[in-house]
Chains A and B, each alone.
Chain A
Amino acid sequence: EAGVVQSPRYKIIEKKQPVAFWCNPISGHNTLYWYRQNLGQGPELLIRYENEEAVDDSQLPKDRFSAERLKGVDSTLKIQPAELGDSAVYLCASSTVWRVSDTEAFFGQGTRLTVV
């Protein structure tokens, strides 16, 4: 069974440019998470979806970040415009039940973003 798939693996862009990340969760996983991980830090939650509904986006910088999960499967995270401080690894994770503490969250390999 395929795991969580993210693309691209690496992205280098100039500041003020837009960028998008794509995530395909494990089949059947209704819960999807986007995390941001800065160098030497633990992941920080940006947004959580239950099917196609964003149920927790309190940590998402809405002035420049947006996300969507059409049809409750794949998801896209967008930054527009990107800033130097957005350089980080963006991780997508999925799980089978809405209480993540009751199950395992499976993570993708992440997209490493460098803003120059």
Chain B
Amino acid sequence: TQLLEQSPQFLSIQEGENLTVYCNSSSVFSSLQWYRQEPGEGPVLLVTVVTGGEVKKLKRLTFQFGDARKDSSLHITAAQPGDTGLYLCAGSSNSGYALNFGKGTSLLVTP
């Protein structure tokens, strides 16, 4: 199983602040996905990155895949209370059969 380390584990910030969460591994992934999970719900896909060095933007969220395809980051600009949730990164191997999830970053944005 390819391990994904996410940091920080917990993050509590105020509305309007910026933040970055990280997803790191010693393994190379063919692709990496970011999900957000709210309490009592299943994870919901935010983005998939495939190419090393790729940057994708989703409104105030910016996702980057490392050049070596071993790591990724998620940057949120001007966080809002609606951004609160558990952010999970998930990587798939060259076979692409299944997703291996990190432990997640629990984000709390207070008004």
Contacts of A79 in B (CB 8 A): none
- DSSP class of B's interface residues: helix, strand, loop or mixed? loop
B45 touches A105 (CB 8 A): yes
A100 touches B99 (CB 8 A): yes
Please count how many residues in chain A sit with their CB below 8 Å of the partner chain's CB atoms.
Answer: 27
Contacts of B88 in A (CB 8 A): 42-43
What is the bound-complex CA distance between A99 and B106, given in angstroms? Answer: 28
Known A48-B98, A109-B40, A110-B42; contact A101-B103, beta-carbon cutoff 8 A? no
B40 touches A101 (CB 8 A): no
What is the bound-complex CA distance between A52 and B100, given in angstroms? Answer: 22
**Which of A40, A55, A56, A108 meets B103, CB within 8 Å?**
A40
B103 touches A107 (CB 8 A): no
Contacts of A73 in B (CB 8 A): none
